[in-house]
Amino acid sequence: MKRALSLLIVMVWLLPLTAQDQDAGTTSEKKTEEVKTGWSFGGVPVVAYDADVGFKYGALVNLYHFGDGSRYPMYDHSVYLEWSRTTKGSGINQITWDTDKLIPGVRSFFEASLLTEQALDFYGFNGYQAKYDLGLSDLAIDLNPNDNLSDRLYYRHSRQLLRVKADFQGEIIGNKFRWLAGAGYYGNTIDAVDIEKLNEDKASDSLSYNSLYEDYIDWGIIKADQQNGGGHTLLKGGLVYDTRDNEPNPFSGVWTEMQLHYAPSFLSTTDYGYGRFIFTHRQYFTIVPDWMNIAYRVSYQGKLFGEMPFYMMPYLFNTAPKLTTDGVGGSKTVRGIRRNRVVGEGFAYGNFELRGKILKTKFLKQNFYIALSGFVDAGMVTQKFDWTEEFLDKYDNENSDLDARARSQIDPYAKEIPHIGYGGGIHFVLNQNFIVTVDYGFAAREQDGETGLYINLNFLY
């Protein structure tokens, strides 16, 4: 595994240099690359794979309007539409619109999405205080000797999310220093996995009815008025400092943002209200002009006040148009570890990535390049969910009625340390904006998973 990663890094360094030598004496990339005007689009049937959600199928279209081309590769309008499903029960019904032409001097971003999960990852709270056992099927049979069914959905629950957002950014000092504001509605419907539906039309039941989510309810960790979700309106404000030389794959500059979120109880379907602070810094360095760069990202997101329902804790936030739904772990944060593995009231994560182009050419009269990357990611809980006193009293008392399953799944006194993933990727880029990325990550510790393959759009950050 280490040899494969080393070989990937060597390829990223050597192949661009070789290609550059072959191109010696040609004109610069900016002079040879065709400037796009008017409408352009990348539309593909979705046939992809993500280790967290399974095989993905459907269709997506990304429409770009470049105007007169004077700002290429920056666009005037970007409209993204997706309808897709996965073999593990996820569904995306989404439309977004990104433009700086609707309101003069303001970049606007709108989204309407219905996101469904028949079996969303749920590993508990506080990182390593929530144990994850790759051999849970064996454990389940040991604890339930009369239950011969598979327990592979033990770390899952269902969720339906209705998300409607409007975000705005405007200039303070040019386009580099901007204000941001917005509002979004998150309507969560939470339940146990519908085992009967998944077992339907099978000769015999193939899935058991055990789940960590239901155990957390039984143990009193998840409150009764939170167990089925709720709707919350998030109001946001903040600042952005952005000096990137381009958005899709920057070779220089920084992109730093600070956000304050307020979810008032009077704009919620529950009695819960809270405030949150988000800070994310990204920086980009050129190693070989036009060919190789380094990018890193660090982020902290934590609760400021109030009480945050358990189903809102996993969400992490970036400024538009970069969208992330679920928490630390998986394709958008720490590649190689399980999605939502790191959940608490506050968390931090970081990424380091080396990127190098290995080919630049024209494809069907479109500008096209291929790049390789190597990465190291990490994340950890920094602000812990408070275990209830009732649960801790039972946990500390060996004669209590707390069952063996609870002790096998939770260690409220475990030390939290970084959860680490690493790996490499390949990126196919059309007209600099339409990017198909294939990443493969490894978890450094077995408690976080094994490996993950992710096929997505765009560079991670």
**What pLDDT, on the 0 to 100 scale, is given for residue 33?**
63
**What pLDDT, on the 0 to 100 scale, is given for residue 142?**
45
Q: Is the peptide bond before 250 cis (omega within 30 degrees of 0)?
A: no
d(CA 284, CA 249): 9
- Find tokens 């956000």 and name the residue: 259
d(CA 217, CA 46): 37
**What pLDDT, on the 0 to 100 scale, is given for residue 14?**
31
Q: Are strands 90-103 and 106-121 parallel, antiparallel or unpaired?
A: antiparallel
Task: Give the CA angle between residues 275, 121, 189 to the nearest 5°.
Answer: 60
d(CA 111, CA 50): 23
Nearest Cα to Cα of residue 96 among 39, 50, 33, 164: 164
CB 235 within 8 A of CB 264: yes
DSSP codes, 321-376: T----S-BSSTTSSTTSPTT-B-SSEEEEEEEEEEEEEEEEEETTEEEEEEEEEEE
d(CA 423, CA 43): 28
Two structure tokens written together for 266 = 């009077």
CB 183 within 8 A of CB 236: yes
**What pLDDT, on the 0 to 100 scale, is given for residue 330?**
92
Q: Within 13 Å and on the Cβ side, how many CA atoms surround 32?
A: 12
**What pLDDT, on the 0 to 100 scale, is given for residue 201?**
67
CB 411 within 8 A of CB 391: no
**What pLDDT, on the 0 to 100 scale, is given for residue 178?**
95
Task: Give the CA angle between residues 307, 236, 245 to the nearest 5°.
Answer: 130
Residue segments in the chain with a per-residue pLDDT below the cut of 50: 1-31, 137-143, 145-149
- What is the sign of the dihedral through the CA atoms of 133, 135, 137 and 141? negative
- Find tokens 């011969």 and name the residue: 148
Task: Give the CA angle between residues 265, 156, 95 to the nearest 5°.
Answer: 60
Q: How far from 201 is each of 116, 119, 197, CA to CA, in Å? A: 22, 19, 9
Q: How far from 438 is each of 14, 247, 252, 296, 328, CA to CA, in Å? A: 20, 19, 23, 18, 19
**What pLDDT, on the 0 to 100 scale, is given for residue 389?**
87
- Which domains, ranges and CATH numbers included, belong to the chain? 2-457 (2.40.160.50)
β-sheet bridge partners, residue 43: 61
d(CA 392, CA 390): 6
Residue type, 4: A
d(CA 184, CA 268): 12
d(CA 309, CA 311): 6
Q: Cα(first)–Cα(last) distance of the chain, in Å? A: 25
Q: Which residues have C-beta within 8 Å of that of residue 58, sequence separation ≥ 6?
A: 45, 46, 82, 83, 84, 85, 92
Nearest Cα to Cα of residue 371 among 359, 357, 384: 357
**What pLDDT, on the 0 to 100 scale, is given for residue 19?**
33
User: 387-392 — which CB contacts under 8 Å span 24+ positions?
Assistant: 387/221, 387/412, 388/220, 388/221, 390/220, 391/219, 391/220, 391/221
- What is the sign of the dihedral through the CA atoms of 129, 132, 138 and 140? positive
Nearest Cα to Cα of residue 157 among 206, 122, 123: 122
Two structure tokens written together for 256 = 């730093």
**What pLDDT, on the 0 to 100 scale, is given for residue 346?**
97
